Amino acid sequence: MPDVLCDPDQIYQVALNLLVNALQILPRGGEVIVRTLSVGTSDVAFEVADNGPGIPPDIREHIFTPFFTMKEGGTGLGLALVQRLVQAHKGTVFSQQ
């Protein structure tokens, strides 16, 4: 992996929010896989994948909208923050099934 310039606290928050979402949806014994990838010579990416139910297609377009949540007691700010912080790093967030 190439070294990249980033705000470590912010990227930690990105990873934490994705991991917490995975852990909240998974049943006992579920699995989370984190992969890092290098893209070209100077860009990096990471992926957080869980083997839970997935994001229902009809809500996929809303998950990055602030305050959108399907969880009792959720604030719906996790993925909005993820997207903001990644964009501040000139990055892109993808959600895939």
Ligand X SMILES: Nc1ncnc2c1ncn2[C@@H]1O[C@H](COP(=O)(O)OP(=O)(O)OP(=O)(O)O)[C@@H](O)[C@H]1O
Q: Which residue lies nearest ligand X, judged by its C-beta?
A: 78
| CA 77 remoteness from chain centre | 12
DSSP H or E segment with residue 17 = helix 8-25
The answer to whether residue 83 forms part of the interface with Mg ion (CB under 5 A) is: no
Contact status: 85 vs Mg ion (CB under 5 A): no
Q: SS3 of 96, please? A: coil
Site for ligand X contains 85 (CB under 6 A): no
Give counts: helices (H), strands (E), the chain.
Answer: 2, 2
Q: Is residue 42 helix, strand or coil?
A: coil
Judged by CB under 5 A, does residue 78 bind Mg ion?
A: yes
Binding site for ligand X (CB under 6 A): 17, 21-22, 25, 50, 52, 54-55, 63, 68-71, 74-80
Which residues of this chain interact with Mg ion, rule CB under 5 A? 21, 78
